[in-house]
Amino acid sequence: MSRPLVVDLDGTLLRSDMLIESMLGYLKQDRASLLQLPLWLLKGKAPLKEQLASRVKIDVTSLPYNREVLTFLRHARSEERHIVLATATHRIYAEQIAHHLGLFSQIIATAGSLNISSRTKRDRLVEQFGEKGFDYIGNSHDDLPVLESAQKAYLSDPDRGVTAKATKAGNIERIFTSRQTRLKAWIRALRPHQWLKNLLIFIPVLANHQVLNLSMLLQALLAFALFSITASSGYLFNDLLDLESDRHHPRKRLRALASGELPLQLGIVSAPLLFIAAALVSLILMPVPFSISLAAYYVLTIAYSRFLKSQMGIDTIALAGLYTVRIIAGAYACGLVPTFWILAFSLFLFLSLAMVKRYAELLDARSKGKTEQTRGRGYFPADLEIIANLGSSSGYLSVLVLALYIQDPRTLMMYRTHELIWLACPILLFWISRMWMITHRGQMHDDPVLYAIRDRVSLLTGALFGAVFMLASFL
């Protein structure tokens, strides 16, 4: 009879940690009882897990399992081996996972006051199967005592230093590696491609004809860097709270945290540290109004991630506000005053693009035959037509603001031939109409701002738009 094959869960079979998953789920669903977490932890890990497991429901079908380990277990199952799930995860979750995977003959898991981890797990396995009477798959330093007592040991994405210590026992049979380097995954989680949106910070410099002012450009560049760091902090925070919904999304499930490429612990530590670093530099080197704008942007980002994005109408206004705050911050960073025209133009234009984003999501849901409210949003697929009307109207209002701006007395003073700015209106009308037509045809598969940055026609339209203002300045 073959030896039992015992497998750990957190970090081994699962590219995540069920304790952290349940804590994040609890923080998301019960903000009023946050102080209970440290009180439960004071009683020990096992009571903490007991409390969380009884309160937090986790969709185990969408969790990021290690495919290589799963394939290995399925092969062992086909050979009729006795497979044991031995985990420090609470028994409620362990049983749900075991039922979903259908691979295990036995479950050994945390329950009551007994935390099945490290030497406790080793003693339990040795008591049942004997020393060297089982094979074991693990990944962490807590697994080292168990690995030493196993006949054959397997490592799955081992933590730093585990491989060196585990190999001393001379029983390592195989190492499963499914993750890319943590640095690559961390950089991907920061979403550096999204930093392109922070180029809006330079708009006030351009609008005030200060492109050749080196001092202002350096200030704007520093503001850009601080906003990028702050934005990445917000993205990490958002991804931590949206793990479950992201895992049900065809593209978002590939994000570093949702897919398990990046350990949740690293995301939890990085999110606040990035913002603290940006805030400290801002307070030291930047004007106070800019620091207030940066803080307002972060607060609005967190509020959007936590609850605003699920509120119909408020979500798109919040998105438009996030873009507009960037422009306001860019003005304050350079000692400029944001004008009524630029703020009104920005709010209407980006509200239209926010509506584009929602329309694309709902169109995708309708094409799949869905009629219920979309996950994490306040809309139904049946809302498509009204969103299209509101979004396109908002876009055209931004063109109206631009037209009115041309007749402002300050505009007459800034441009030699202000009448040429009228050419910018049909250019903008064309671009807004085209964006909505592309979305209506189901071809908008990305954030509309990022789509525009990568789209040749949009780039050409933007170049023509800018050229109009340059010609109006010098002709």
Instruction: Classify residue 58 by burial, with Cβ atoms within 10 Å: 0-12, 13-18, 19+.
Output: buried
Nearest to 198 by CA among 401, 453, 468: 453
> The pTM is what?
0.86
The confidence score (pLDDT) of residue 32 equals 59
**Distance separating alpha carbons of residues 150 and 156, to the nearest angstrom:** 15
Decide: helix, strand or coil at residue 158.
coil
Length of the chain in residues, anyone? 475
Beta-sheet strand order (sheet of 153-156):
106-110, 83-90, 5-7, 135-138, 153-156, 172-176
pLDDT tens by residue, the chain, 475 residues: 589 999 999 999 999 999 999 999 888 876 656 678 888 888 889 999 999 999 999 999 999 999 999 999 999 999 999 999 999 999 999 999 999 999 999 999 999 889 999 999 999 999 999 999 999 999 999 999 999 999 999 999 999 999 999 999 899 999 998 877 788 889 999 999 899 999 999 999 988 888 888 999 999 999 999 999 999 999 999 999 888 888 988 888 889 999 999 999 999 999 999 999 999 999 999 999 999 999 999 999 999 888 888 888 899 999 999 999 999 999 999 998 888 888 999 999 999 999 999 999 888 888 877 777 766 677 888 888 999 999 999 999 999 999 998 888 887 788 888 788 899 999 999 999 999 999 999 888 778 988 898 899 999 999 999 899 888 887 7
- Domain 5-178, what fold? Rossmann fold (3.40.50)
Decide: helix, strand or coil at residue 212.
coil
- Domain 183-338, what fold? Tetracycline Repressor; domain 2 (1.10.357)
The confidence score (pLDDT) of residue 31 equals 62
Domain ranges of the chain: 5-178, 183-338
Residue 107 phi/psi, 5-degree rounding, is: -125, 130
Decide: helix, strand or coil at residue 58.
coil
The confidence score (pLDDT) of residue 2 equals 80
- Structure tokens, 83: 């497979």
Distance (Å) of CA 324 to CA 98, 145, 333: 49, 56, 14
The confidence score (pLDDT) of residue 339 equals 84
Q: How many CB atoms lie within 10 A of CB 118?
A: 16
Cβ-contact 12, 155 below 8 angstroms = no
The confidence score (pLDDT) of residue 321 equals 93
**Distance separating alpha carbons of residues 228 and 85, to the nearest angstrom:** 43
The confidence score (pLDDT) of residue 41 equals 84
* Positions of E strands within 123-276: 135-138, 153-156, 172-176
